[in-house]
């Protein structure tokens, strides 16, 4: 059998319940059948008893009649009255006797069958013929009582002879069989009793005889086919047979919707005179006492069913609860949650299953931990890897959606790692990475922070619950942590790194974008003199505004939208103009003048920087030629990028440019930063040395911001150091800056280099630097950068009235 | 307890020998089936009335029965009713020929009862319903009863004209007496015929 239940529990409950219901149902049916059978047997017995009661009542009353009449007949005075034909006395004696037993008929007949005296209201229907027959029967059979029907009314009659000593008269006395009889019999037998007579209006067979209910305990309903609900056909059947006496038969009939067991007792069937007594017992009444029994049974059945349901539910629960728990645990396992143990103390199969399942859970959890560790772990640094880092970023971003907690991403790339790798070997490089990882971990105190190795020498940090300034603080802390050299194979290696910071959701709401912006910031940090940079849109090529600039840079060069600006370098000793630094401005057709900060980084990233550098060199050469013709012979210093330095053709290009304008090498000088060399020091050094050999002067720009080794500086064929403006600007307030600048000047002089200070903004700074022995100065105090065209005018003006 | 004898046939009475000379009339009483009828009263009334001696009769009560069942007496005769039972009796008659009663008594009543009217008198006892007796009072000295063989003989009849009458308690018509006119010269038989009604009479031992 296939049950429409999905759960084991409902199947068990259904099975148990079905069984109990089936058992109860058959029990119920069996009891019902038995009750019905017993009730019908009881009814039949009752009907039998009822019939006995009926006959007994008839006999009793008949005997009463006979006794009463006999007493009268024996009375001497009564006989005397008859002998003397004293009718008045006879009548009163009859009345008196009749009153004693309340008989309905009291008459006196002569021996030769003549009606002599009639007492009371004799039913007119009583015929002499019937009486004479009764007398004759009595004469032949002795004292007896007879039933007679007169026009549908049944009577019980008795004839008693009056003897003196021969019969001198007959006393006829009788009762009408009326409702009191029916009631009396019902009292004793508890049956419904009806007396039905037949009235034959016409003897022809065509007219059906009419049945008449003479008395009954039932409500008297006359119908065409039935009488008080008793169908004529049964009455007919009760009297049809030719059997003479006391035919009895039973059947069941329905009267007004109630079933009755009926017994038909034929009391008289002689010619026109027919009397049938119908005894009836309501089956439903007989069954009524059993209904209580059945009701109790039903209640017991229902209670039993409930008990069974409860029991089977409990049983089913006991079976299925551990299963459900196993299912739940399995679902958790499916989701990857291995934390919930399955506890089962039961010793049965399910307990065994549970324990086996739990061992499986532990084994799977252990294996998955191993696998995920492999997938998310970097063995070298004992840090999570990029995959883990990205997952964590997703979680952090989800956490932001829920709890509005911001976070920052720091991305760090070691400077010169390739160099370390090349010089000290892979093993040392690995040790270096592990050391860096250790420092990073120590720098990030918060449990929530995530430090990961993203690949190569690149590390990523997620700072939880932070904001821009905090992130910057951490970044600076990292720098400090890295400042201590790392000991490798008995030697110390200086570390530096570019750190890029991007904040979520301030800088990006998308994890990918956030990462790429942290990276952009990182590269910006590495490119600029600073080692930490927070992302801003200006850094980003991907930024829409910048993107258009990037695409327009090439155009700008080709369409000559760039213009050359210059800023003078003044000799501290003489106050005279000694040289100018060539700077670039973009005269954008729509946006106006754009400063180099806005587009040089992109030019570097996109590879257009060589075009700009070439343009600058060419333009500087052109002006140098113009100014020389006007009598101003000063060098123009052009900045070169790291990319320019690895261009092997650069010396040739320079030579060509100088040749075009018929210039000597000293007319152009070049400024390079420490970091631009460090990207590929070998090639850069090679290029620089070739340029130096051409006689072109070189400067180290932004000196002091990089962490370049003095060993490199020593090897560089430079003529000049440019102290970064960040040291100069605060020199009047910051003693450490004074020390740095002073030391740098001394260092430069000791190496035989000229020292230039940038960012001089007032007289005081000028004076301090002059005192320190700085060679040249550059800054707003003397002159802002100006268009190259205006330099001639400026020199005239400066010569006339120098600001210093 | 009552016991009934039912006589349901008719009785044929036949007189077949009359002996005028000897003045003796021999009468055979039989029923219709030819069986002899006992206790039939047979009497002859002479056409010329004669002065007649009145005789007395005795009807005794013994064993709660009247004895004899049937008596025949001449008009004016006295009848005594001696009681031989230990119980008392209450003898009565409602018959028109003689209505009387002898209230509860034992032994021999002080005076006899005189029956001075011809006819049938039915005797009963008010205490015992089964006791019954018949007295046929006749206006002639010539009377007798048939014996078990149905034979009755009237003797010493002077010659002359007579009306021969036969009565039985089971006669169909109670008051009708079967009669026949005849002239007595010598002994001769007489045949008479009549029907009887069904009759109920208490049983006799």
pLDDT tens profile B43-62: 888 888 776 677 788 999 99
Residues in chain B with CB shorter than 8 Å from the CB of A141 are none
Pick the residue from chain B with its C-alpha nearest to A84: B94
Domain boundary assignment for chain A: 181-286, 345-373, 379-535, 559-788
pLDDT of residue A204: 57
- Bond from prior residue into A237 cis (ω within 30 degrees of 0): no
Tokens at residue A552, please? Answer: 């327009």
* Contact between A165 and B94 using a beta-carbon 8 Å cutoff: no
Residues β-bridged to residue A491: A488
Strands in B20-140 per DSSP E: 24-29, 41-46, 57-58, 60-62, 65-67, 70-74, 77-80, 89-93, 100-105, 113-115, 119-125, 132-138
CB neighbours of residue A373 within 10 Å: 12
* Contact between A168 and B94 using a beta-carbon 8 Å cutoff: yes
Q: Average pLDDT across each block of 10 residues of chain A; the chain has 804 residues. List them in order.
A: 67 82 86 85 88 90 89 89 88 87 87 81 73 83 79 87 86 89 88 84 62 80 66 72 62 79 84 84 82 84 84 82 82 82 80 86 86 83 88 88 88 83 83 88 80 88 82 84 80 82 86 86 76 78 62 82 93 92 89 82 79 92 93 92 87 92 92 81 88 92 72 83 87 88 92 92 92 93 92 91 79
pLDDT of residue A755: 94
Tokens at residue B5, please? Answer: 């004898």
- Bond from prior residue into A742 cis (ω within 30 degrees of 0): no
SS3 category, A771? helix
pLDDT tens profile A728-761: 988 888 888 899 899 999 999 998 999 999 999 9
Q: Which of B7, B96, B97, B124 to mutate to test the interface with A (most CBs of A within 10 A)?
A: B124
pLDDT of residue B15: 42
Tokens at residue A575, please? Answer: 């106050």
* Contact between B94 and A83 using a beta-carbon 8 Å cutoff: yes
Residues in chain A with CB shorter than 8 Å from the CB of B123 are 165
Pick the residue from chain A with its C-alpha nearest to B3: A142
* pLDDT at B35 exceeding the cut of 80: no
Of A76, A139, A168, the CB nearest to B126: A76
* Contact between A164 and B92 using a beta-carbon 8 Å cutoff: yes
pLDDT of residue A201: 61
Burial of A154 (0-12, 13-18, 19+ CB in 10 A): buried
Which of A349, A345, A356, A354 lies closest to A324, judged by CA?
A354
Burial of A646 (0-12, 13-18, 19+ CB in 10 A): middle
Interface of A with B in 63-92 (CB under 8 A): 74, 76, 79-80, 82-84
Q: Which of B65, B120, B126 to mutate to test the interface with A (most CBs of A within 10 A)?
A: B126
Residues in chain A with CB shorter than 8 Å from the CB of B130 are 165
Tokens at residue A207, please? Answer: 């007219």
Residue A444 phi/psi, 5° resolution?
A: -100, 100
pLDDT tens profile A553-585: 878 888 889 999 999 999 999 999 999 999 999
A181-286 and A379-535: identical CATH topology = no
Of A82, A165, A168, the CB nearest to B132: A165
pLDDT of residue A4: 63
pLDDT band at B91 (very low <50, low <70, confident <90, very high): very high
Pick the residue from chain A with its C-alpha nearest to B129: A165
* Contact between B125 and A165 using a beta-carbon 8 Å cutoff: yes
Burial of A786 (0-12, 13-18, 19+ CB in 10 A): middle
* Contact between B122 and A166 using a beta-carbon 8 Å cutoff: yes
Which residue do the tokens 């000088």 mark? A669
SS3 category, B34? coil
Of B99, B124, B198, the CB nearest to A165: B124
Distance, CA of A485 to CA of A489 (rounded, Å): 13
Residues constituting chain B: 205
Give chain B's end-to-end CA distance (angstroms, integer). 13
* pLDDT at B4 exceeding the cut of 70: no
Give buried/exposed letters for B161-181 (b at 16+ CB in 10 A, else e). Answer: ebebbbbbbbbeebeebbbbe
Can you say whether the dihedral through the CA atoms of A75, A80, A85, A91 is positive or negative?
negative
Of B99, B198, B202, the CB nearest to A165: B202
Q: Are A273 and A148 in contact (CB under 8 A)?
A: yes
CB pairs under 8 A between A and B: 35
* Contact between A164 and B124 using a beta-carbon 8 Å cutoff: yes
Reply yes or no on domain A181-286 having CATH 3.30.450: yes
Of B99, B129, B198, the CB nearest to A165: B129
What's the gap in Å between the CA of A157 and the closest CA on chain B?
A: 22
What's the gap in Å between the CA of B82 and the closest CA on chain A?
A: 19
Which of A475, A416, A405, A472 lies closest to A440, judged by CA?
A475
Q: Tell me, which fold does domain A559-788 have in CATH?
A: TIM Barrel (3.20.20)
Q: Which helix (H) or strand (E) holds B12?
A: strand B12-19
CB neighbours of residue B201 within 10 Å: 18
Residues in chain B with CB shorter than 8 Å from the CB of A83 are 94, 99
Angle, vertex CA A220, rays to CA A274 and CA A204, nearest 5: 35
- Bond from prior residue into A316 cis (ω within 30 degrees of 0): no
Give buried/exposed letters for B42-66 (b at 16+ CB in 10 A, else e). Answer: bbbbbeeeeebeeeebebbbeeebb
Distance, CA of A582 to CA of A569 (rounded, Å): 11
For residues B17 and A633, which has the higher predicted lDDT (pLDDT)?
Answer: A633
Q: Which of B8, B64, B94, B203 to mutate to test the interface with A (most CBs of A within 10 A)?
A: B94
Q: How many CA atoms lie within 13 A of B22 on its CB side?
A: 11
Q: Are A310 and A327 in contact (CB under 8 A)?
A: no
Interface residues of chain B, partner chain A, Cβ below 8 Å: 2, 92, 94, 99, 122-126, 129-132, 198, 200-202
Distance, CA of A354 to CA of A77 (rounded, Å): 115
Distance, CA of A631 to CA of A651 (rounded, Å): 27
Residues in chain A with CB shorter than 8 Å from the CB of B132 are 165-166
Residues in chain B with CB shorter than 8 Å from the CB of A79 are 94
Q: What is the DSSP secondary structure assignment for residue B83, as one 8-state letter?
A: B
SS3 category, A662? coil
pLDDT of residue A140: 77
What's the gap in Å between the CA of A165 and the closest CA on chain B?
A: 5
Residues in chain A with CB shorter than 8 Å from the CB of B131 are 165
What's the gap in Å between the CA of B135 and the closest CA on chain A?
A: 13
Q: Which of B95, B199, B200 to mutate to test the interface with A (most CBs of A within 10 A)?
A: B200
What's the gap in Å between the CA of B163 and the closest CA on chain A?
A: 29
The residues near A697 (Cβ < 8 Å, ≥ 6 apart) are: A635, A666, A669, A670, A719, A720
Distance, CA of A428 to CA of A425 (rounded, Å): 6
Interface of A with B in 90-149 (CB under 8 A): 139, 142
CA dist B101 to A80, A106, A708, A723, A736, Å? 11, 29, 185, 190, 185
Q: Are A392 and A450 in contact (CB under 8 A)?
A: yes
> Can you list the pairs that A506-511 forms with residues at least 24 positions away whose Cβ atoms lie under 8 Å?
A506/A406, A506/A468, A507/A535, A509/A397, A511/A390, A511/A393, A511/A394, A511/A397
Distance, CA of A489 to CA of B101 (rounded, Å): 179
For the segment B30-42, the average pLDDT, to the nearest whole number, is: 80
Rounded mean pLDDT of chain B? 77
What's the gap in Å between the CA of B62 and the closest CA on chain A?
A: 17
Q: Are A120 and A30 in contact (CB under 8 A)?
A: no
Q: Which CATH number describes the domain made up of A379-535?
A: 3.30.70.270
* Contact between A80 and B202 using a beta-carbon 8 Å cutoff: no
Domains of chain B: 55-146 (2.60.40.420)
Burial of A331 (0-12, 13-18, 19+ CB in 10 A): exposed
Residues in chain A with CB shorter than 8 Å from the CB of B126 are 76
SS3 category, A473? helix
* Contact between A167 and B200 using a beta-carbon 8 Å cutoff: yes
Residues in chain B with CB shorter than 8 Å from the CB of A166 are 122, 124, 132, 200-201
pLDDT of residue B204: 43
* pLDDT at B102 exceeding the cut of 60: yes
Distance, CA of A725 to CA of A759 (rounded, Å): 5
Residues in chain A with CB shorter than 8 Å from the CB of B91 are none
Q: What is the DSSP annotation of B140-173? A: SSEEEE--TTSEEEE-SPPSEEEEEEEE-TT-SS
Q: Are A609 and A599 in contact (CB under 8 A)?
A: no
Which of A245, A219, A247 lies closest to A235, judged by CA?
A247
């Amino acid at each position: 059998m296939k049950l429409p239940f999905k759960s084991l529990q409902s199947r068990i409950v259904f099975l148990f319940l079905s069984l109990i219901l089936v058992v109860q149902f058959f029990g119920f049916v069996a009891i019902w059948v038995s009750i019905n059978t017993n009730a019908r047997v009881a009814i039949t017995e009752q009907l039998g008893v009822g019939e006995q009661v009926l006959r007994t009542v008839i006999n009793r009353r008949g005997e009463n009649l006979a006794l009463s009449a006999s007493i009268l007949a024996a009375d001497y005075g009564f006989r005397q009255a008859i002998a003397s034909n004293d009718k008045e006395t006879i009548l009163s004696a009859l009345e008196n006797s009749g009153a004693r037993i309340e008989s309905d008929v009291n008459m006196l007949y002569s021996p030769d069958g003549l009606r002599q005296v009639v007492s009371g209201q004799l039913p007119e229907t009583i015929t002499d013929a019937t009486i004479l027959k009764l007398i004759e029967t009595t004469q032949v059979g002795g004292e007896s009582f007879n039933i007679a029907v007169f026009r549908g009314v049944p009577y019980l009659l008795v004839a008693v002879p009056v003897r003196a000593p021969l019969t001198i008269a007959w006393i006829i006395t009788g009762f009408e069989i009326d409702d009191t009889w029916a009631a009396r019999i019902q009292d004793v037998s508890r049956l419904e009793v009806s007396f039905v007579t037949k009235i034959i209006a016409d003897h022809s067979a065509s007219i059906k005889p009419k049945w008449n209910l003479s008395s009954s305990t039932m409500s008297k309903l006359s119908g065409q086919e039935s009488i008080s609900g008793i169908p004529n056909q049964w009455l007919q059947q009760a009297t049809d047979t030719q059997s003479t006496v006391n035919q009895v038969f039973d059947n069941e009939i329905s009267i007004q919707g109630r079933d009755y067991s009926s017994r038909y007792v034929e009391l008289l069937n002689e010619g026109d005179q027919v009397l049938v007594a119908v005894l009836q017992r309501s089956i439903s009444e007989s069954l009524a006492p059993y209904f209580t029994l059945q009701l109790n049974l039903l209640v017991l059945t229902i209670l039993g069913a409930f008990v069974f349901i409860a029991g089977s539910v409990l049983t089913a629960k006991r079976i299925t609860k551990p299963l459900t728990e196993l299912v739940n645990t399995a679902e958790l396992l499916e989701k990857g949650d291995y934390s919930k143990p399955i506890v089962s103390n039961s010793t049965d199969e399910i307990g065994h299953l549970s324990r086996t399942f739990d061992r499986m859970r532990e084994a799977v959890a252990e294996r998955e931990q191993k696998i995920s560790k492999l997938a998310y772990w970097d063995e070298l640094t004992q840090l999570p890897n990029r995959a883990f880092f990205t997952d964590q970023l997703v979680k952090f971003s989800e956490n932001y959606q829920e709890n509005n907690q911001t976070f920052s991403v720091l991305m760090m790339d070691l400077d010169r790692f390739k160099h370390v790798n090349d010089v000290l070997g892979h093993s040392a490089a690995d040790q270096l990475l592990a050391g860096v990882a250790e420092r990073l971990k120590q720098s990030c105190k918060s449990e929530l922070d995530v430090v990961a190795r993203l690949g190569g020498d690149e590390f990523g940090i997620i700072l939880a619950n932070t904001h821009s300034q905090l992130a910057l603080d951490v970044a600076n802390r990292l720098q400090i942590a890295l400042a201590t050299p790392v000991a490798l194979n008995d030697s110390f290696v200086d570390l530096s790194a570019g750190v890029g910071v991007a904040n979520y959701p301030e800088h990006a709401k998308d994890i990918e974008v956030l990462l790429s912006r942290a990276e952009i910031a990182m590269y910006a940090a590495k490119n600029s003199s600073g080692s930490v940079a927070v992302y801003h849109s200006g850094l980003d090529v991907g930024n829409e505004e910048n993107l258009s600039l990037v695409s327009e840079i090439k155009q700008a060069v080709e369409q000559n939208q760039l213009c050359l600006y210059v800023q003078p370098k003044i000799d501290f000793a003489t106050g005279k103009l000694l040289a100018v630094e060539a700077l670039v401005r973009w005269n954008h057709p729509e946006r106006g003048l754009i400063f180099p900060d806005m587009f040089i980084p992109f030019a570097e990233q996109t590879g257009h920087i060589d075009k700009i550098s070439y343009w600058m060199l060419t333009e500087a050469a052109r002006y140098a030629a113009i100014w020389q013709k006007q009598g101003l012979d000063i060098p123009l210093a052009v900045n070169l990028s790291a990319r320019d330095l690895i261009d092997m053709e650069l010396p040739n290009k320079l030579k060509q440019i100088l040749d075009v304008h018929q210039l000597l090498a000293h007319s152009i000088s070049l400024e390079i930063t420490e970091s631009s060399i460090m990207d590929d020091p070998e090639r850069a050094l090679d290029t620089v040395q070739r340029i130096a050999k051409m006689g072109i002067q070189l400067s180290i720009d932004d000196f002091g911001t990089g962490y370049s080794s003095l060993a490199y500086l020593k090897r560089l064929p430079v003529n000049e150091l440019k102290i970064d403006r960040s040291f100069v600007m605060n020199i009047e307030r910051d003693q450490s800056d004074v020390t740095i600048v002073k030391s740098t000047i001394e260092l430069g002089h000791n190496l035989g280099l000229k020292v230039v200070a940038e960012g001089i903004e007032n007289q005081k700074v000028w004076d301090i630097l002059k005192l320190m022995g700085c060679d040249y100065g550059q800054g707003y105090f003397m002159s802002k950068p100006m268009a190259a065209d205006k330099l001639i005018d400026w020199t005239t003006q400066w010569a006339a009235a120098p600001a210093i | 307890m009552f016991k009934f004898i039912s006589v349901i046939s008719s009785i044929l009475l036949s007189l077949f020998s009359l002996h005028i000379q000897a003045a003796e009339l021999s009468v055979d009483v039989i029923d219709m089936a030819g069986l002899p009828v006992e206790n039939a009263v047979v009497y002859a009334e002479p056409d010329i009335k004669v002065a007649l001696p009145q005789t007395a009769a005795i009807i005794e009560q013994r064993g709660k029965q009247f004895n004899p069942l049937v008596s025949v007496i001449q008009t004016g005769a006295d009848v005594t009713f001696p009681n031989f039972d230990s119980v008392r009796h209450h003898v009565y008659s409602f018959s028109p020929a003689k209505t009387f009663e002898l209230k509860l008594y034992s032994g021999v009543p002080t005076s006899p009862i005189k029956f001075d009217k011809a006819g049938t008198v039915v005797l009963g006892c008010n205490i015992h319903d089964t006791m019954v007796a018949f007295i046929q009072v006749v206006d002639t000295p010539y009377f007798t009863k048939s014996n078990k063989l149905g034979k009755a003989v009237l003797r010493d009849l002077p010659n002359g004209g007579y009306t021969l009458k036969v009565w039985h308690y089971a006669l169909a018509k109670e008051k009708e007496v079967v009669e026949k006119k005849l002239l007595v010269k010598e002994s001769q038989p007489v045949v008479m015929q009549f029907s009887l009604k069904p009759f109920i009479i208490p049983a006799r031992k």
